[in-house]
Amino acid sequence: MEEEHKQELPAPPRFRYKLIKIATLTLLFLVILFFGGFFGIETTSSSKFCSSCHEMKPQYYTWKASSHSEVDCVNCHIEPGAKNYAKAKGNGLVELYKKQTDTYIAPIKMPNLIPDEACESCHNMKNRAVTASGDIIIPHNKHKTEGIKCVQCHSGTAHGKVSDRKVTYKSDYGKWDEKLGTSLMSNKKFTSPQMDTCMECHEVRKAPLECKTCHETTMVPKNHKTEEFKAGGHGKIQPSDLKKCEKCHSYMSKEKYDLFKEDPSFTKFLKKENTDSNNVTVSQYAKTNTFCKDCHGQKPTSHKRASFITDHGHLSKNTQTCFICHDNRIVSNSPVTRVQCATCHPSSHNRPWKDHHPVTLAANQKFNNTCLRCHVKATCTKCHRTNS
């Protein structure tokens, strides 16, 4: 009976105090962990945090000097979604380990291309018709329809392709600062889409190559608009300037010739040639570009006379003028005209050929290398030996 009347005694005050203390500390730890994790994620997501690793300085300072300096790194380099965000943070721990053990690969490059979704979070591709220059026509919606990714044209927007420019070696990390970043980002060749990229893509995809396809104006330089330039002034262009002409005119030709491909500097040195030489002349260039045929393919007024065929021999005193369009070789690939001297004047020894030779010859003229400027060596040397 006494056991039935027994009542549960209250827990000792000291034991209750311990329970409350443990619960309070646990709650406090969870709060600290939550806020610590929240602020930790916020801190590691900032662009400033990226620069805390010295190997990231090239990327940080070029980004800071770019047109995207107001956009945090994570906005472009982490795809949208909690799953991708968590994955990126996990990869960050791996990269931290590589940094501490000095096992990371340099130069640092993105393993994957920036997705279009990152760009489209700020840029509207459906009605984007404005471009920086004001002259270039870029229908972004058509490019997107054709499956062209943003980074195919804009790969240097944020970092100026510094990894490809070989300026991010480990030994150079200490040299990076805002000044260097600004300097490297000032070259539009590495930050803006280049015409070569556009034209190569258009050629592969059989897209139009005319100037009007991408430009609102014809982009003709001022000096090209003068009558003097059109009437013959362009023929006086210096060989050293032809590379500049090639930047536009190469795309206007249906046939492609790599006239400006040069030997390496050390090869030229061994040949005792000027390493900066450019031996391509205007007339040579004109005979490789089909664009020139629109004008030079038309017969000059002097050639339209009925008697020109029989009396043009007097022009032999200035054959270099003839050879601007015609070639003095037996075989020519010139798109301008394929009519050479040999077309009508095949070599013949059965008549007093010296008297009718288009170039005046000495009475005792012998066969030598001068003859090979017009004649074919393989044919002539079957009988003749050259006397240099």
29 domain residue, yes or no: no
Q: Is residue 385 part of a domain?
A: no
Taking the CA atoms of residue 68, residue 71, residue 76 and residue 81 in that order, the dihedral angle to the nearest 10 degrees is -160
Cis peptide before 107 (omega within 30 of 0): yes
Inside any domain, residue 182: yes
Task: Write the CATH number for 175.
Answer: 1.10.3820.10
Q: What tokens were used for 130?
A: 């404005």
Q: Is residue 153 part of a domain?
A: yes
Total tally of structural domains belonging to the chain? 1
The pair of three-digit structure tokens given for residue 206, joined into one six-digit string? 């059989």
Instruction: List the alpha helices (DSSP H) in 102-167.
Output: 116-120, 140-145, 150-154
**Backbone dihedral region of 16: left (phi > 0), alpha (psi from -120 to 50 degrees) or beta?**
alpha
**Secondary structure class of 317 (helix, strand, coil):** helix
- The verdict on residue 180 lying in a domain is yes
Instruction: Give the phi and the psi of residue 335 in degrees, each rounded to 5.
Output: -75, -15
Answer yes or no: is 209 within a domain: no
- Asked whether residue 179 is assigned to any structural domain, the reply reads yes
H-type helices in 108-210, by residue range?
Answer: 116-120, 140-145, 150-154, 178-185, 188-191, 195-204
- Indicate the pTM of the whole model: 0.54
pLDDT by 10s per residue, the chain, length 388: 455 555 555 555 665 666 666 666 666 655 554 444 444 444 455 566 666 676 788 888 999 999 898 888 888 887 776 676 666 666 666 666 676 677 777 777 777 788 888 888 888 877 765 555 667 888 888 888 888 999 898 989 999 998 888 888 877 788 888 999 999 999 988 998 888 888 889 888 888 888 888 887 767 788 888 888 888 788 888 877 888 888 788 887 777 767 666 655 555 556 665 555 566 778 778 777 888 877 777 777 888 887 887 777 777 667 777 777 776 655 556 667 777 776 776 665 656 777 777 778 888 888 888 888 777 777 777 777 766 5
Tell me if 348 is assigned to some domain: no
Per the structure, the complete domain to which residue 162 belongs is given by: 49-128+147-191
